[in-house]
Amino acid sequence: MDIGFIGLGNMGAHMARRLIEAGHRVIVYDTRQEAIGNLAAKGAVAARSPQEVADMAELVMASLPTPDIVLKVATGPEGVIEGKKVRRFVDLSTTGAVMAQRIFKTLAERAIVQIDAPVSGGVVGAEKGTVAVMASGPRADVEAVEPALRVIGKFFYIGEKPGAGQTMKLCNNVLSAAGMAATSESILMGVKAGLDPQVMLDVINASSGRSTATEQKFPQVVVPRKFNQGFTAGLMLKDVNLFLSEAKALGLSSSVIEAVAAIFKLTCDELGPDKDMTQIVQPLEQRAGVEIRAPEA
């Protein structure tokens, strides 16, 4: 199958590589020439614009950082919408349901079906092909691209409604964000009181408080002070704010998630939005006067 792939960042490069290794002819584009070259060296076909990708493949996928960039790539000048061959556009990014519905309607005017299929599982999941793929759109069109999506990760069909996959992704990501924020405050309190953070994590992971934050992020990324989870604080704040926007539109209150957003905003304001999302512990550590790290031997 000929597959176009736009966006070769931390996640996209791995997903495109997996498609190449599965035997697909993959046409790639990114704003960074180095990223294109890395995939071309593995057998991908290089393109000069999203439109050129869409000129060469009926199926075009995108993995991009923000809703505005997805909108521009999909519907802007020299975008996917102007491609001669494209029939289906699969958005693996996180844009929120409102943007997904907007792009769906715009592409439909050119007989292009948009399928929103955001993924979750981090860089390691993208590398190993274990991310959760949350697809929504017309069932027949989703079924047509399902074999390719199964190369990327574990496939879930969320529903026919455009944007349903995006809503599912936001519901997942705010739980990840909340777990990271709550674990930061919990472990920090224990460390301030004199507890060993690794012992705390061992106990929590054998108890009811465990989460991906306690099982993976803290023992592997925070305690050893690596801060290399591979997902930025700015992107997590974007996802949390998208959730809050959709919840508000549905008439829901989200006081817990609003508090989580405040912690991620603090991180972005003080450290910068490009910092790793696990670094939300650092502004809290500064205020507490202690760090979450293994005690000296």
Residue 29: exposed, middle, or buried by beta-carbon count in 10 A (0-12, 13-18, 19+)? buried
Q: How many CB atoms lie within 10 A of CB 259?
A: 12
Handedness of CA 38, 39, 45, 48 (dihedral sign): negative
Which whole-number Å values give the CA distances from 284 to 24, 192, 220, 280, in the listed order?
Answer: 47, 11, 19, 7
Which whole-number Å values give the CA distances from 171 to 59, 96, 97, 153, 242, in the listed order?
Answer: 27, 11, 12, 19, 10
State the Cα–Cα distance between residues 227 and 235, nearest whole angstrom.
Answer: 15
59 in Cβ contact with 148 (< 8 Å):
yes
Which is the catalytic residue, given 72, 169, 192, 217? 169
* SS3 (DSSP) at 31: coil
> Phi and psi of 284, rounded to 5°?
-70, -40
State the Cα–Cα distance between residues 269 and 290, nearest whole angstrom.
Answer: 21
Residue 115: exposed, middle, or buried by beta-carbon count in 10 A (0-12, 13-18, 19+)? buried
Handedness of CA 44, 115, 155, 173 (dihedral sign): positive
Is 248 among the residues known to form the active site? no
State the Cα–Cα distance between residues 238 and 210, nearest whole angstrom.
Answer: 25
Pairing mode of beta strands 59-62, 153-159: unpaired
- Residue positions annotated with a catalytic role: 169
